[in-house]
Amino acid sequence: MDEVRHQRAHGRLSVRWGAHGLVDLFQSAPMRALFPGAEPGEPATIAQVNVAGGLAGGDSAEFSLVLDEGAAATLTAAAAEKVYRSLGPPTRIDTRVSLAAGARLEWLPQEVILFDGAELSRRQDFSVGPGASLLLAEMLVFGRAARAEIFTTGSAFDSWRLRGPGGLLWADTLAMTAADLAHPLRFGGAEAMATVLLAAEGAATHRDALRDIMPCTVLRPGLLLARALGRATDIRALVAAPVPMLRAAAFGLPARLPRLWRC
């Protein structure tokens, strides 16, 4: 019998944002971008949308975001990204973000949820120019414990690269399987993990305030990193706390979460 071939989605979204608004946009299903009106005192909002509702094994999504010199924006998502069970090939997500001199970006998507049997391969590459600044908060959730959906099989490969004017600033790669979640020396039963990062001049001055909320460290001048593991509901609440504080202290913005996070 011939092998059954399933239809796969290969979405692509490319956005270039300038100091005065949208410069260029390319999108192919199921990836879309929306530009909801910003609240008073807020930068422009770019909202990622997956109109398919999620990604399965063999699907791929490519996202490119360029901020021109002096541009400012908040990137968020209309909903959590769901990665469903794979029948073999992984789900691929590739992200490239480039900030020109003096640009400012808040990278605040909602969580990525790995359903049981998901096979995720994700690569994220960020580049910040002279005087540019980046506030990033991301969550990776293993299953949906509230609905008794547990991540018992599957894997995740998650690669991060952050580059500055002088070259590589930070590199991190996670390669794990569902079996690692229960291991006491690996994930210790955690349901989710979170990353909060601030790349900006004077980032170290916010270390103590962030440390009052979650464990963090100054990796190098201008680069502050926090990581946490725990229950999914606790991790989401934990990430919701430092974002308003950091955006107010580092960027002079209102101390609140993106509107889509509050819907």
**Mean pLDDT, rounded, for 142-157:** 87
pTM of the model as a whole: 0.94
Residue 5 has a pLDDT of 62
Q: Is residue 215 part of a domain?
A: yes
Q: Is residue 46 part of a domain?
A: no
Q: Is residue 72 part of a domain?
A: no
The predicted-structure confidence for 46-59, as pLDDT tens digits, reads as follows 999 999 999 999 99
The predicted-structure confidence for 213-245, as pLDDT tens digits, reads as follows 999 999 999 999 999 999 999 999 999 999 999
Residue 263 has a pLDDT of 61
Is residue 177 within 8 Å of residue 155, measured between CB atoms?
A: yes
The predicted-structure confidence for 17-71, as pLDDT tens digits, reads as follows 999 999 999 999 999 999 999 888 899 999 999 999 999 999 999 999 999 999 9
The predicted-structure confidence for 135-147, as pLDDT tens digits, reads as follows 999 999 999 877 7
**Mean pLDDT, rounded, for 76-103:** 96
What's the mean pLDDT when you consider all of the chain?
94
DSSP string, 128-172: E-TT-EEEEEEEEEEEEGGGTEE--S-EEEEEEEEEETTEEEEEE
Q: Is residue 242 part of a domain?
A: yes
Residue 54 has a pLDDT of 95
Q: Is residue 193 part of a domain?
A: yes
Q: Is residue 212 part of a domain?
A: yes
For residue 179, the enclosing domain spans 78-253
Looking at the predicted structure, is the pLDDT value of residue 124 above 50? yes
Q: Is residue 227 part of a domain?
A: yes
Residue 6 has a pLDDT of 64
Could you give the CA distance from residue 189 to residue 187 in angstroms, rounded to a whole number?
A: 6
Count of domains forming the chain: 1
Could you give the CA distance from residue 134 to residue 120 in angstroms, rounded to a whole number?
A: 25
pLDDT confidence band for 3 (50 / 70 / 90): very low
Q: Is residue 129 part of a domain?
A: yes
